Structure 1
Amino acid sequence: MKKYIGLLLMLFSLEATAQLHMKANLQTNHLWRGIEVADGLVITGDVNYSLCNGLFNLGFWGGTNTQGTYKEFNNHISFQYKGFSLALWDTYNFSTGATYNNKEFFNYKAHSTGRFLDAILNYYCGERFPLLISWSTIVFGRDRNKENTANKYSTFCYLEYPIYTKSRWHADAGIGGAFALNKAGSKTNFYGNTNGIVHVLLKVTFDWTLAKHTMPIHACMVWNPQADRAFFQLGIQLFNL
């Protein structure tokens, strides 16, 4: 009987510290690691549930554009402790015109799935030295070699640092490079045709307040030296509940 009471108390304590969150953003395109995933007006949203005062988090992320040509639905789970966080993103982009399998959401077969699993390890150094260090490796899915016999394990390494903070203004700069852990006779990876810098970021944010509700507005510039491309994005966070 005591065991059951203890289990109930533990479940109650978890529930007492659990929180449900929801947010949405509106932006002029969708940029991700040096890639313009979608153009046109894009709305993205996230619904997540945190446990143990934010130690664990699980949720769903989605995005679409006004043309209806971009559609994405992801599952994610993460663990955070002090400056460290470990996350797994199950990403499924089922946009029209995709060159991979975009019609089977529950297909988890390595040779034919249209999704990919992204394992992300982050470390935030702290307020005295607010550097974000990130290592991400695609551990499963549509990141295969030419023969479709093995995973490339494409990896994205990223550094980001706030270069300006004053009142409601913020500016951040970042740089990221990509390579494949399993080269399999080729230098190609998920992000480009060879190893190198694929993401250089400069992002300026203003915390706009409307009726006591903060709605950050940002301008984001991204350069991809490896692909010889550059992108500009304007966006606003509609709400964060």
Structure 2
Amino acid sequence: MKNLFLSMVIIIGLAGYAQETTPENAISKEPSRLNFNVTLATSHLWRGLIISPSMTAMGDLHYTFDKNRNFSVGVWGGNSFDGKYTEVDYYVQYKNKGLTIGLWDLFNTTNVEHPEVFNYDKNTTTHLIDLRTSYRFPEAFPLRIEADIILYGNDKELQPDLDYKNRYSTYVELGYPLIKNEQITLDTYIGAGFSLDGKSNLYSSNTDHNFNIVNAGFKASKDISIFQYKLPVFAGIMWNPAEKYTRMQLGVSLF
């Protein structure tokens, strides 16, 4: 663990040094349409699910098409430090003020013996096609509403005739900033999972109830100064009432 945190400090220092030594004439006045960022977290939590219980590095490479930077296409990836979790996702997304609409192709190869990246057969694919929508109201009442639906892929339910049908697993979340000032932001959220066409859903192993509260918690974020640079860090606590577990998550956005 000591070597792990030492590695994180070295990476942060190198990133800061690179920023400090960048020639002024190499910096464009207009922000680049191509960008990427990297985040380190003690685990990877997603909609109340523990996708990776160990230290995970996550990266996002994206390109915006228009001057207003509303439309973008990108690749998101995650790898755990223990090598047990690997994921590569592709997405197209539209953002305008508080509205976000995205279509994601999720490809998590964890515990998949022979992952096939180009296999989209409805019976054998391990992909998930995820429609994501969210809206954050103006600052006067900054409530955030999220609604996501798995449209296609490895989200199936076995039928009495031994055939599989898509469950259309759906996740809905409400979030609100309890504290927001120059020093720190504290957000709270609660999320539920259910299927539009099935008796079970992707987010809970409880088959007795289709609708389950699967994600609730708090997340605090702030900037810390290290090597004369400000780095965004976060700490959060998550509870999953349906699965009866909880996790603490710590993380830092390197750039």
Tell me whether the two structures share a fold, i.e. TM-score over 0.5: yes
Matched, 1:155 2:170: yes
Shift in alpha-carbon separation, 1:48–1:213, aligned structure 2, 3 A: farther
Q: C-alpha separation between the residues in 1 aligned to 2:115 and 2:220?
A: 37
Q: C-alpha separation between the residues in 1 aligned to 2:139 and 2:212?
A: 30
Which aligned pairs between 1:143-182 and structure 2 lie closer than 5 A? 143-147=155-159, 148-182=163-197
Percent identity over the alignment? 32
RMSD: 1.6
Q: CA deviation at 1:166?
A: 2.4
Q: C-alpha separation between the residues in 2 aligned to 1:28 and 1:70?
A: 13
Q: C-alpha separation between the residues in 2 aligned to 1:136 and 1:146?
A: 22
Matched, 1:222 2:238: yes
- 1:32-51 per-position Cα deviation (integer Å, ceiling 9, x unaligned): 01111011111000000012
Match among 30, 53, 63 for residue 39 of structure 1 = 53
Count matched residues: 218
Partner of 1:130: 142
Shift in alpha-carbon separation, 1:166–1:81, aligned structure 2, 3 A: closer
Q: Which amino acid letter does the alignment assign opposite residue 39 of structure 1? A: P
Partner of 1:9: none
Question: Which runs of 4 or more aligned residues in structure 1 lie more than 4 Å from their structure 2 counterparts after TM superposition?
Answer: none
In the superposition, the TM-score normalised over structure 1's length comes to 0.86
Q: CA deviation at 1:81?
A: 2.5
Q: C-alpha separation between the residues in 1 aligned to 2:127 and 2:253?
A: 27
- 1:183-215 per-position Cα deviation (integer Å, ceiling 9, x unaligned): 2xx2x1000123211000200112113355431
Q: Which amino acid letter does the alignment assign opposite residue 70 of structure 1? A: Y
Q: 189-198 or 133-142: which moved more?
A: 189-198
Q: C-alpha separation between the residues in 2 aligned to 1:218 and 1:81?
A: 25
SS of 2:158's partner is: coil
Q: C-alpha separation between the residues in 2 aligned to 1:66 and 1:102?
A: 21
Q: C-alpha separation between the residues in 1 aligned to 2:78 and 2:219?
A: 21
Partner of 2:123: 111
Q: Unaligned stretches of 5+ in structure 1?
A: 1-15
Q: Which amino acid letter does the alignment assign opposite residue 50 of structure 1? A: T
Matched, 1:206 2:228: no
Q: Is the CA contact (8 Å cut-off) linking 1:57 and 1:78 kept in structure 2? A: yes
Q: C-alpha separation between the residues in 2 aligned to 1:227 and 1:67?
A: 24
Shift in alpha-carbon separation, 1:134–1:218, aligned structure 2, 3 A: same
SS of 1:235's partner is: strand
Partner of 1:51: 65
Q: Which amino acid letter does the alignment assign opposite residue 181 of structure 2? A: K
Q: 127-136 or 143-152: which moved more?
A: 143-152
